[in-house]
Each structure stands twice: as structure tokens, then as C-alpha cells.
Structure 1
Amino acid sequence: MTSESFRPLTTLLHRRAASTLSTTTTNTLRSRIHFATRPNPTLPRRRIKVHPPPPGPPTKDPISVLTAAQIKALDPSGSRAELFSRNNPQAIRPGDIVYVRRKNGEPFSGVLLNIRRRGIDTSILLRDQLTKLGVEMWLKVYSPIIDSINLVQSKEKMARRAKLYYMRKLKHDFGPVRGIVSDWVRKSYAAKKGVDKAGQSAGQKGQKEQKAKKAKK
């Protein structure tokens, strides 16, 4: 007698059920597997066109290139970029009095407290006093609504800080700049008028000389 005959009947039944189940499962899986066959093997295989990958960007930093193009479009002459350049000794610095003319509103002037250099979004913060009340305004340097930005008065000594927020306190507040700006506007207007008069007189003189030459001929 073999050792199988001495094992319990339940163990033998479990083994037979497991073997029967595995055989049935294998046959079922084999019957479900279908291999793809070509309908007509004599025809040539169809080649799938593989497109090459798109070309990479011309530069590794496209954001800086886009920013430079936008600044060039809004500031073709480069005067505003030079006005706030770190390498320009005549540039506008914090603490200077700045006069800004806008196309869709009244001009605004004040003491420059901060310059936020962020490419095309570069902006300046001006502070002034109206009716003894401190007023501050952020202005975009490259905004198309800004007509001109002018330096009215430079600070005597260069500020040691880049952000002059301490001028908001009463003992450090510069006060209203209306009088300084009014004198500067008056002088600039007079100088411009004098230049225009000089140009007109030079033009009239040239016309007279041409008429005298024609009369002599």
C-alpha cells in the first residue's frame, strides 16, 4: 500500500479539485487567446510615416528673448531703459523727485521710494503730499499710457538703501513737491520757448538771405 492511501480523504479530495480547476482554467485561457492574422499576406506591409520631432527653441532662455522684444517694441529709442539702468551714472535713483506725464490723466510727481525691476513690468513708486495727506502711486515704466518720465531734482547724497520706506514716517517725510515741480516746469517751458524762438529767427534769417541772393541774380 502506498502512502497516499493513508492520507485523509479530505486531502485527496482537495488535491483532485485543485488539479481539475487548474486544467479547466488553462484550457479556457488558451481558447480565449487570438493571434492577429493579416487578411491577405501577399500584399506588402503598410509603412507608418514617422514624423521627426519638432525643432528645439533657438535659445535656452526664451523668456529673456521675449522680454527684450517687448521692451524694444514699447521703448524703441531705449531712453526709458537707460533712465533706470544700474550702469548709467545719470540714471534716476531712489530719493530723486520725478515728474511723470500720462496720456489719460493728470501728471503725477513725487519722491521716488522704490524701483521694482522686473523686465517689461518694471515700475516705480512715487510719494507726494496732497492736502497734508501722504499719497503713493505705482507707475509702470514701459506702459503705453505713460507719455514721459522726467527727473526734476536729484538727491544731494546717494541713498544707502534701495527702498526708502522710512520716508513714510513724519520726521523723515519730504513733504509736498508741488513748488519744486512748478519751478521746473516753468523753466523747462521757458527754455523750450526760447529754443523755438531761436529756431524761428534762424529760419527767417535764412529765408531773407535766400531772397537777397535771388534778388542779386
Structure 2
Amino acid sequence: MITQSTSRPLSSWKAVLRRTRQQRDQRIPIAFRSLTTAPSSSSSTQPNEASIPPPPPPPPPAAQSASKPAQKPSFHIIRSQIPEKPIRTAFAVYPRVPSARKKNPSALAAFHQQQVSRLDRTGARRALFSKANPDAAKVGDVLQVTTRKSGEPFAGVCLSIRRAGVDTAILLRNHVLRVPVELWYKVFSPNVLGIEIVWRRPKRARRARLTYMRRPKHDMGNIDHLVEAWRRTRNVFTSKGKGVKGGKGGGGFDRGGAKGKKR
């Protein structure tokens, strides 16, 4: 067949080669072809299975108990009023798993506690911003901070309290010359001389961060009138012999409070 004319196209030569390949496969015996082309699955898998080592056996229960001591449970018994069956039910109560945090305390938490105890020896600042203290300062209150560097104290609305150990800080907002000003103060900083509560929010705030007070609709604006009323009441309480003659001491306090209300 291959001795035909070479002027045939390439497709015809492919067909001729395909026919010769089929004829050559027909001449090979079937048994030899089956042995060479389709080896049995048993002969191919046996050496692979022999080469794979068996998995190790599980450890005995005695070894497991030796590595971790078993906790002995206590049985809780509920009595019944039936004389034939005095025990109504009983079940085992296992002891509580020990806390990993108590066994291995965090080094950062211990460091923060050490620094806070060193900077706040009396514990007044910790109590002022403690969640367990009902009289503590909360967001929405007006606070006044006196620092060592700037002689004049800064008062503002507390928008946020960031409790982070020794890095506890508060964010105060006020208007200075009709310009909104926000300042962060570190509570345990040595530069902070004192923090005082000027005015308390009548209702508890529903949010932890009062960022919505930056909008003109909710902004309190300048709070100097609240600071002045608070200073006036402090002067009345700390005054000695002023306006006390004739029993007019209380009247002086009422007049100060009335002026504060008018503003």
C-alpha cells in the first residue's frame, strides 16, 4: 500500500498509516497482546502494598492514664419519697477544669497593673473610671482636666473612655473661639494633676462612644456656662464667713443657683 503514488494529499497518507497500524495489531496474538497491554491488577498492587508499612498500633489505655491523671468524679444523689426506691437518680459530677489564664498569667497584664499601682498610689483615678463604681465618670459627662504644662484647665464633654490599663485615656470636646476642639488625656499620666466632674449627664448614654455629638444637631457647643456654675457652687461651699451674718448664707447659695439656671 505504501508503494502508491506520492501525489496524494496528507490526509490520505494518514489514512494509509492508520490501516497499516490496524493490520499490524491484528497479526499479534491475543494472549501476548493481553499480557503486554493490560497487566493484571494483582501483579501491580502487590509490590505497592508490600512497600507501605502498617500504621502503628494505638497506645494502651494504661499509658494514656499515666500521661494525664484522671479526675475522680463525685456522684450527686437525689432522694425520692418512695420507700421501695429511695434513690430517685444519681449522676457523676466532674471537677472544674483549671483555668489556663490563672496558671499562666499574661505578662502584659501584670506589667500594666504594676505601672498603675505605681502611678496611682491612692487608687482615686482607678475608682473614677471603674465600671464597678456607680459614681464613676461616664461618657456624656463634662470633665475638667488640670495639667502640669498648661496652667489653665481644659473642660469638655467626655465623648469616649478608652480603658487599656496604664494607657487609659479620655476624649474631651469643647468649643474654643467657636472652633470645635477635641483633646485626648491619659488618665495615669504624671502630667495630669487632677480630673474633676463638672456636670453629669441626666440620662445614661446608650452608646460607648458619643461620636454623633460632632454633628451640629447634637453638638453641645461651648460649655463654659456649666463650668462657671460649677465654680460658683464650689466657692459658696468653700467660703468662710461670707454672707453668713443674719442667716443669709443659704440665700447666697440660692442666688448663685438661680443665676446658673437662668443661663
Q: TM-score range by the shorter chain?
A: 0.5 to 0.7
**Structure 2 counterpart of 1:79, from 116, 119, 124:** 124
Normalization by structure 1: what TM-score? 0.61
Runs of 4+ residues over 4 Å off in structure 1: none
- Residue 145 (structure 1) aligns with: 191
Task: Please give the alpha-carbon distance, in whole angstroms, between the structure 2 residues aligned to 1:176 and 1:90.
Answer: 25
Task: Please give the alpha-carbon distance, in whole angstroms, between the structure 2 residues aligned to 1:159 and 1:148.
Answer: 24
- Residue 173 (structure 1) aligns with: 219
CA shift for structure 1 position 194: 3.5
Aligned-partner SS, 1:182: helix
Superposed CA deviations along residues 28-74 of structure 1, whole A, max 9, x for unmatched, are xxxxxxxxxxxxxxxxxxxxxxxxxxxxxx95322212111110111
Aligned-partner SS, 1:125: strand
**Is 1:125 aligned with 2:171?**
yes
**Is 1:97 aligned with 2:142?**
yes
- Residue 182 (structure 1) aligns with: 228
Structure 2 unaligned spans of 5+: 1-102, 242-263
Task: Please give the alpha-carbon distance, in whole angstroms, between the structure 1 residues aligned to 2:185 and 2:173.
Answer: 11
State the superposition RMSD in angstroms.
1.6
- Residue 106 (structure 2) aligns with: 61
Give 2:193's aligned amino acid: D
How many residue pairs match? The answer is: 138
Aligned-partner SS, 2:138: coil
Task: Please give the alpha-carbon distance, in whole angstroms, between the structure 2 residues aligned to 1:103 and 1:193.
Answer: 26
- Residue 203 (structure 1) aligns with: none
Aligned-partner SS, 1:72: helix
Give 1:114's aligned amino acid: S
Aligned-partner SS, 2:189: coil
Task: Please give the alpha-carbon distance, in whole angstroms, between the structure 2 residues aligned to 1:116 and 1:194.
Answer: 40
Aligned-partner SS, 2:160: strand
Aligned-partner SS, 2:188: coil
Give 1:94's aligned amino acid: V
Q: Which has the higher contact order (CA 8 A, sep 6+)?
A: 1
Residue correspondence of structure 1 range 31-46 to structure 2 within 5 A: none
- Residue 116 (structure 1) aligns with: 162
